[in-house]
Amino acid sequence: MLAGAIIQLSLIKPLPAMNLKRVFIITLFIAFVSCQNKKSGNALPPVNNKGVNIAYTDSSEGDTTLLFVHGWCINKSYWQDQVKYFSKNYRVITIDLPGYGQSGKNRTEFDSKAYAGDVKAVVNQLKLSNVILIGHSMAGDIVLKAALENQKVIGIIGIDNFKSVGVAPANPAQAKKEFAEAIALMKKNFKAVALKYFNEQLFYKTTSEAIKKRIINDVTHADTVIAVKNMEDDWPDEAVLLKQLNKKLYLLNSDYDPTNESGLKAKHLPYDLTYIHATGHFPMIEKPDEFNKLLSGILKRFK
């Protein structure tokens, strides 16, 4: 490639001998910049699902691929520390789910089934293999469904999710009613409901004000129609899908809200639970160094 560039330059204009060294240096610089642009994502091939663009980052190297999927109302930038850390040993990909970040929103479906199709499109169009799907929050069900639909996925890791698999509410009818009321309130005043939910349920006493501000900013600037559609999803029976997956479920959960393991045990579902202490719902940005070490430990015992 480098030699070809020099030949093309020489055909445009005869090169005096004294300038050959300068041309060579310039050409080397161009080649280097081109290489860096590819690594930084500026030259990534487009990926789409049924005409909807899917924005992503790709470290491009590694036999095993870690594909990170973000949770509700946030975006792929929340995995920035993981990209830096894990790109040394894995191919690392992060995506913006359609409706968020830089991905398109030109469709009407934004449920876990549609999102699983987006993940599948990324895996297939980038011709990935040995894929481990890592999903935060609502993306747990997304990566679970995607894993069921793609043989290239060798397993999944949930980040602060799957906390009550197989555990039915004490009063299903009342729970359904309360959920419908919450959705109605969200449609009426999304910002107020979302802020109350995050401040009361998802932050921990150690969560920094800077991190709270970042998350709240992303939530309040999210497309409210899409965000509500996410919540209206007919969320699946996770125990049934995990049984179909027939692979061990790996979890890295925050202990501000302990995981109820009774359903996993009662249904004899194989799982591996690791706790990260003293963080809220966003451990990957609240304690990135500790999070990365714990996730690295999970990957080492991954089968």
pLDDT digits (tens, 9 = 90+) for 134-190: 999 999 999 999 999 899 999 999 999 999 999 988 898 998 899 899 999 999 999
* φ, ψ for residue 3, nearest 5 deg: -65, -40
Share of the chain above pLDDT 90, in %: 80
Q: What is the pLDDT of residue 17?
A: 46
CA-based nearest residue to 273, from 167, 168, 161, 134: 161
Least confident span in 76-90, 136-150, 232-246 = 232-246
Q: Which residue type sits at 202?
A: L
Cα(292)–Cα(134) distance, integer angstroms: 13
Quick one: average pLDDT of 31-56? 72
Residue range(s) in the chain whose domain bears CATH number 3.40.50.1820:
48-169+218-300
pLDDT of 9 higher than 60:
no
pLDDT of 39 higher than 50:
no
* φ, ψ for residue 105, nearest 5 deg: -135, 20
Quick one: average pLDDT of 7-32? 42
Q: pTM for the complete prediction?
A: 0.86
Q: Which residue type sits at 142?
A: I
Q: Tens of pLDDT along 215-231?
A: 999 999 999 999 999 99
Chain centroid to Cα 68, Å, comes to 3
Tokens of 271: 């799982």
Q: Determine contact, residues 253/160, Cβ cutoff 8 Å.
A: yes
Report domain 48-169+218-300's class: alpha beta
Q: Determine contact, residues 105/226, Cβ cutoff 8 Å.
A: yes
pLDDT level of residue 104 (50, 70, 90 thresholds): very high
